[in-house]
Structure 1
Amino acid sequence: MLTLQAPFYRAVNDEVEVFHAAARRGAPVLLKGPTGCGKTRFVEAMAHELGRDLITVAGHEDMTSADLVGRFLLKGGETVWVDGPLTRAVREGAIFYLDEVVEARQDTTVVIHPLADHRRELPVDRLGITLPAAEGFQLVISYNPGYQSVLKSLKESTRQRFIAIELGFPPPDVEREVVAREAGVDPSTADILVRLANTIRNLDGSPLREVASTRMLILTAGLVAEGLNLRSAVQAAMVLVLSDDADVVRALGELVDAVLPRA
């Protein structure tokens, strides 16, 4: 749903212009980028700018088409139809955001195909109807290319229906601004955290599946804003989150010692 306060998003390239152009055409958008780089916040900001409601669903391996479209349920002894989130968005002209689409089963994501091409319609087989998308409806999906595998990849028949926007971690000056504003910390604290994150991201032969994300930095800075000392905040919200391997945790601790100012 729309919020009164505009979500803070700092553009890095031309992603805002691309999204607005796609929205004017009703074209679906595919967001690509690593975990925690701001994909969800970007969609929230775009929905607010466009004055549209936003319905968000997180993809998962147990998701069925009924979870998106709807199903019959028993209510008060009667069987009634209940729209799923995708159907609500189609009827209401909202932006529908399917986060981490590759986590959902491929036979489930096929249901979005008629909405992602010239037809802009949603077949609701259980009702025997086809719903045309209301004015303002837009389909947005996202995924993390780093998690792609043979079993979890986006089908070409799906990809080629979308306008793609690639998001990444912002440059240091932008990331410092984001961390300071979102967490309510001073610029010097934000600067230290951003330098630490970039050191982790640039490690050669890193054993980490994921690196320190912007979201992780905001969480860490939030602990500092609550009065926790910087070193403890980094340990709790970054080091221990990034790995369970004792050797990796120890190595990250040494890296932290090299970057953080000494008490």
Structure 2
Amino acid sequence: MNAPDLTEDDNAEHLGLYQRATESGAEWWRVSVADRPQTYRLEHGVDDAGRVGTVDIDLVVDAENLRAKLKKWRREGFAIDADDNGESDSDLNRRLAFMPELQRVAALASASTAKQRPRADSGETVRIAQVEVPCGVGGALVPPVNAAYLFPARFNDIVEDVVENRRVMLIGHTGAGKTSLIEQIAARSRHGVLRSNMNGQTTVGDFVGFWTVKGGETLWVDGVLPTAMREGLWLIVDEIDFAEPSILAALTAVLEPHGRLVLKEKGNEIVAPHPSFRLFATANAVGAMSQFRHLYQGANLMNEAFLDRWRVYLLDYLTPAEEADVLMRTLAPNMTRTLATTLAAIAADCRAAFAREDLSSAFSTRRLLDWAELMLRTGDPERAAAPAIYAKVSPEDAALIRGIVRHHIAPAD
């Protein structure tokens, strides 16, 4: 029995029943997945004279401890039973055949989808991440391109969904780059963007439209939703978990495939979406982020029926290596790898403190870039941090961040 390192991709092969014959019967250990991530449940027993013994050891270990157990069991003569849990030969063959079959049909489906995609308004496409994205016609509402922006491979599915006109919701902590991801896709593909921030002040009239009087004449004014739908713009509903129920109700019909908006206030006028129209949302405390709802006071619960109308992606902050690359690309040629690596590590430690709730404020890439830019001008991390970081947070948070900075940066001689 081999015991290679355990990873997320191969740990499944180590689950099962490990047995050896003894004078008193078959001794076994059963390995299964425990409740917490990257932990495993180990159960031990001895089958006496053909009878299944009771579990006499039941414990939970991490991956490192399981590796040690696997090596020990190998030395003691235990072997894994691949047919544990009564799996028949046909069940085993079907389970083994699933992934090869899926990969085969997924490749065919991908090729077929690429052929059926509508042509771009401009007849052009641009490659973003690993996806060909149809280009728009440009205009004043197209966001500026950030040349330093990174599109890691994990963004491929999101870009694919944009091309396929899926309703995409991005969830994650403040400053994780949810809105900027959509804006940079739009910037590179020349699509105009409208943003509507659900900050508690946005009304259903602002969102859908309203009647007003101008020069003695009563006029209808479209809100951001029908404007984007008519003109083929991309609409980002920021912090949708703070939206009023009336706004969510207006959105529901539009979320359906080829969904249309009915303007009841305008005599039930129907607004059909332009082919280039795209709808996005961002949220801080939805779905997988619900555990952090107490950090985002005022966020509303969203039912599964509403969430099921979206493709929901959890966005985390950039890795330290990715963030160091962004720093170097944004602040070239003055930013060196040594400086960038240290600054990215400080940001990572601040975010870890935020996740532990030691800090009450998040640490965005935007904040890190601002601090780094001012630091290059002043030559002094503390002086630069005063307006870029410390003045934006509570005194308690500032003191903790200052401690993290000093942990990574020794004072000048």
TM-score scaled to structure 2, two decimals?
0.58
The equivalent position to 2:385 in structure 1, one of 215, 219, 234, is 234
What is the distance in 2 between the residues matched to 1:201 and 1:51? 33
1:218 partner amino acid = L
Higher relative contact order (CA 8 A, sep 6+): 1
Residue 143 of structure 1: aligned partner:
283
Give the deviation of 1:249 after TM superposition: 3.2
- The one-character-per-residue Cα deviations of 1:141-180 (angstroms, maximum 9, x if unpaired) are 0011355358523332221101122211111111012133
What is the distance in 2 between the residues matched to 1:158 and 1:226? 48
Q: 2:252·2:306 contact (CA, 8 Å) conserved in 1?
A: yes
- The one-character-per-residue Cα deviations of 1:200-222 (angstroms, maximum 9, x if unpaired) are 22348542223322121012123
Q: Does 1:11 align with 2:151?
A: yes
The equivalent position to 1:131 in structure 2, one of 271, 288, 291, is 271
Give the deviation of 1:7 after TM superposition: 5.6
Q: Secondary structure, in 3 states, of the residue corresponding to 1:73?
A: strand
Q: Secondary structure, in 3 states, of the residue corresponding to 1:126?
A: helix
TM-score scaled to structure 1, two decimals?
0.88
Give the deviation of 1:36 after TM superposition: 0.9
What is the distance in 2 between the residues matched to 1:44 and 1:14? 17
Q: 1:211·1:242 contact (CA, 8 Å) conserved in 2?
A: no
The equivalent position to 1:83 in structure 2, one of 218, 222, 227, is 222
Q: Does 1:191 align with 2:341?
A: yes
Q: Does 1:28 align with 2:167?
A: yes
Residue 250 of structure 1: aligned partner:
399
Q: Secondary structure, in 3 states, of the residue corresponding to 1:21?
A: helix
Q: 1:208·1:242 contact (CA, 8 Å) conserved in 2?
A: no
Q: Does 1:210 align with 2:355?
A: no
What is the distance in 2 between the residues matched to 1:3 and 1:240? 29
Q: 1:73·1:81 contact (CA, 8 Å) conserved in 2?
A: yes
Give the deviation of 1:12 after TM superposition: 2.6
Residue 48 of structure 1: aligned partner:
187
Q: 1:232 to 1:177 in 2, by over 3 A?
A: same
Q: 1:176 to 1:72 in 2, by over 3 A?
A: same
The equivalent position to 1:116 in structure 2, one of 236, 247, 255, is 255
CA RMSD of aligned residues (A): 2.3
Q: 1:96·1:139 contact (CA, 8 Å) conserved in 2?
A: yes
Q: 2:236·2:279 contact (CA, 8 Å) conserved in 1?
A: yes
What is the distance in 1 between the residues matched to 2:306 and 2:258? 14
The equivalent position to 2:200 in structure 1, one of 50, 61, 64, is 61
Residue 33 of structure 2: aligned partner:
none
Q: Secondary structure, in 3 states, of the residue corresponding to 1:208?
A: coil
What is the distance in 2 between the residues matched to 1:46 and 1:70? 28
What is the distance in 2 between the residues matched to 1:36 and 1:197? 12
What is the distance in 2 between the residues matched to 1:55 and 1:205? 34
What is the distance in 1 between the residues matched to 2:256 and 2:326? 35
Give the deviation of 1:196 after TM superposition: 1.0
Q: Secondary structure, in 3 states, of the residue corresponding to 1:152?
A: coil
What is the distance in 1 between the residues matched to 2:234 and 2:256? 16
Q: Secondary structure, in 3 states, of the residue corresponding to 1:174?
A: helix
Q: 1:244 to 1:262 in 2, by over 3 A?
A: closer
Give the deviation of 1:34 after TM superposition: 1.2
Residue 41 of structure 2: aligned partner:
none
Q: Does 1:220 align with 2:220?
A: no
Residue 178 of structure 1: aligned partner:
326
2:260 partner amino acid = E
What is the distance in 1 between the residues matched to 2:173 and 2:366? 11
What is the distance in 2 between the residues matched to 1:7 and 1:112? 33
Give the deviation of 1:131 after TM superposition: 0.7
Q: Secondary structure, in 3 states, of the residue corresponding to 1:148?
A: helix
Q: 1:131 to 1:8 in 2, by over 3 A?
A: farther
Q: How many residues align?
A: 260
What is the distance in 2 between the residues matched to 1:43 and 1:253? 33
1:21 partner amino acid = E
Q: Work out which of the two has the higher radius of gyration on C-alpha atoms and give 1 or 2.
A: 2
Q: 1:70 to 1:63 in 2, by over 3 A?
A: same
**Mean Cα deviation higher: 155-164 or 205-214:** 205-214
**Mean Cα deviation higher: 175-184 or 63-72:** 175-184
What is the distance in 2 between the residues matched to 1:4 and 1:257? 36
Q: 1:4 to 1:199 in 2, by over 3 A?
A: closer
Q: 1:110 to 1:225 in 2, by over 3 A?
A: farther
Unaligned runs of 5+ in 1: none
- The one-character-per-residue Cα deviations of 1:79-99 (angstroms, maximum 9, x if unpaired) are 111111111100011111011
